[in-house]
Amino acid sequence: MNNILILAGREFRDGLRNRWVMSATLLLTLFALTLALLGSAPTGEVKTSPLAVTVVSLSSLSIFLLPLMALLLSHDAVVGDIERGTMALLLSYPVARTEVLIGKYLGHLGILALATLIGYGIAGLLTQWVSTGSLEADVQTWLPWLVLMASSILLGACFLALGYLVSTCVHERPTAAGIAIGLWLFFVLIYDMAVLGILVADQGRFLTPQLLSWLLTINPADVYRLINLTGFADTARFSGMAALSGHARLGLPALSAILLAWTVLPFVFASLIFQRKQL
């Protein structure tokens, strides 16, 4: 446990030093603020929480941004250290390989979580303050926002784990980068387009709504979308996913569990492969 904390601390501090944390936080804050302030403007007349509107636009952004950031951080984590030689030195110390992997992972997750909390936190507080003039609101208003932040971190955790799996499997850094980009394209863009294409071509003969929602619960990016866009009545109405949310029978706990599984399983595989890896 001690070793894991030492390693996580080092990884996190490295992120602070090489400006990763800073640029990630700035990027997220900037995007979140832009979307929050622009997005809440047209709803001024409607009696909906401006926060809910911002959750919709921000979650669409997160789907692209967070997996990308997570993969950028993680694809290099193992193969990069092996190529640089730091891994061989580290493993000559009395640390278990699993500890090395978990420690590094937690450090990276800390970087991502901090950037998300600061970036989206500022945007959320500002949105609420600009629209209502105060930060006082009931739990119901804040809940979608809190869920957005928590699920964003969980989405990041998924893709971090996927990145670690890629990084332990390959032998060269460029390969890891290539596969990471491929994964990102697949989960974030291609998967949805493919489902959409099938949906259009199929004309509802074979692809039942049940099958569709099942297809969407396989992809972590879509699970994230389901959590944030259909989880609450307000956001579902705004995102145009109200119809879909009717079919999605899975609640927040189940959807979170899927994301968690997408985190744990790749990581366990990565750990098993790393155990057998010859440096």
Residues in touch with another protein (CB under 8 A): 2-3, 6, 10, 13-14, 17-18, 84-86, 88-97, 99, 278-279
Burial class (CB in 10 A: 0-12, 13-18, 19+), 172: exposed
Yes or no: say if 107 and 7 are a contact pair by the CB < 8 Å rule: yes
The conformation of residue 251, written as its DSSP 8-state character, comes to -
**17 vs 249, beta carbon nearer another protein:** 17
The least CB distance from residue 68 to another protein, in Å, is 23
Yes or no: say if 124 and 36 are a contact pair by the CB < 8 Å rule: yes
**99 vs 234, beta carbon nearer another protein:** 99
Biggest CA pair distance of the chain: 64
**139 vs 279, beta carbon nearer another protein:** 279
> Cβ–Cβ contacts within 10 Å for residue 237, how many?
15
**72 vs 122, beta carbon nearer another protein:** 72
- DSSP calls for 123-145: HHHHHHHHHHSSS---HHHHHHH
**48 vs 175, beta carbon nearer another protein:** 175
**30 vs 89, beta carbon nearer another protein:** 89
Helix 220-230 with 252-276: angle, nearest 10 deg: 160
The least CB distance from residue 3 to another protein, in Å, is 6
What tokens does 207 get?
Answer: 């692809």
Yes or no: say if 123 and 33 are a contact pair by the CB < 8 Å rule: yes
